[in-house]
């Protein structure tokens, strides 16, 4: 059974979605993230992907009060990302209620630090973020491309102990055109024991079934849910 992980992306304390990571193509879906999270929980959702988009753009954690509010007012397992660049950022995230933290840019720009965090906190607490455009890793809220190729990037960190990866195909994120299933199959053929979390492009309930049939362990989705293309009632029955 595929693990279902709705996303709440935060800018200025509001629930938003971007298209292809473009901050200028932002749509606000709610002004109270806590209420959105509680609605998810009421329909049987157990895990939440919470992204601090202000933090990703600012290179430090910003919306930790929102994280704390959701953590204290729900029992959702929260994986948090966006702007976690320093030891203090990571400490604040965990102290504010994150069960897991996703590190993407830091794993590219400062590998020794990410590896130290992995050693200190363990692979069950640290998720590797692999945000991909044309099979190259992007950083800093997807505003910058790197020269890191996806597969060697994954190989390196999996060999160092990473067991969970969120892989987002930036071209598809927020576009409602379907997920990058072929890419996820390719990753899982190379690393069959990896807890791979697909992200980006989910447009319908059928997309969730397709990913499940492909053997993808988990999926993050947001816009399709907020746009009514997937209902919470459907998720409850999966």
**Residues near 230 by beta carbon (within 8 Å), at least 6 away in sequence:** 202, 204, 205, 208, 221, 224
Whether 206 sits among the annotated catalytic residues: the reply is no
DSSP the chain: -PEEEEEEEEETTEEEEEETTEEEEEEEEES-HHHHHHHHHHTT--EEEEEEHHHHHHTS---HHHHHHHHHH---EEEEESS--SHHHHHHHHHTT-SEEEESHHHHH-HHHHHHHHHHH-TTTEEEEEEEETTEEEETTTTEEEEEEHHHHHHHHHHTT--EEEEEETTTTTS-S---HHHHHHHHHH-TT-EEEEES---SHHHHHHHHHTT--EEEE-HHHHTTSS-HHHHHH-
Catalytic residue, chosen from 54, 131, 169, 207, is 131
**Whole-number Å distance between alpha carbons of 24 and 194:** 34
Structure-block tokens of residue 198: 């697909």
- 41/232 Cα distance (integer angstroms): 10
89 given a catalytic annotation = no
Q: Which candidate in 9, 52, 89, 169 is catalytic? A: 9
* Residues assigned a catalytic role: 9, 131
């Amino acid at each position: 059974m595929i693990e279902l992980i709705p996303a709440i992306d935060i800018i200025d304390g509001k629930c938003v979605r971007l298209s292809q990571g473009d901050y200028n193509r932002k749509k606000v879906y709610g002004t109270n993230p806590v209420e959105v999270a509680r609605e998810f929980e009421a329909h049987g959702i157990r895990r939440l992907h919470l992204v601090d988009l202000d933090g990703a753009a600012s290179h430090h954690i910003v919306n930790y009060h929102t994280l704390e509010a959701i953590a204290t007012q729900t029992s959702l397992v929260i994986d948090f990302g966006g702007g976690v660049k320093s030891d203090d950022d990571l400490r604040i995230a965990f102290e504010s209620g994150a069960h897991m933290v996703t590190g993407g840019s830091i794993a590219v720009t400062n590998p020794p630090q990410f590896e130290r965090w992995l050693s200190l906190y363990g692979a069950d607490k640290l998720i590797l973020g692999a945000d991909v455009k044309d099979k190259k890793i992007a950083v800093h809220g997807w505003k910058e491309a790197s020269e890191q190729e996806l597969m060697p990037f994954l190989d390196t960190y999996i060999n160092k102990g990473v067991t969970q990866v969120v892989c987002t195909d930036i071209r598809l994120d927020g576009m409602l055109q379907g997920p990058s299933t072929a890419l996820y199959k390719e990753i899982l053929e190379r690393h069959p024991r990896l807890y791979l979390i697909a992200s980006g492009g989910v447009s319908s309930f059928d997309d969730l079934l397709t990913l499940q049939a492909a053997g993808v362990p988990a999926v993050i989705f947001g816009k399709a849910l907020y746009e009514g293309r997937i209902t919470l009632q459907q998720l409850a029955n999966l």
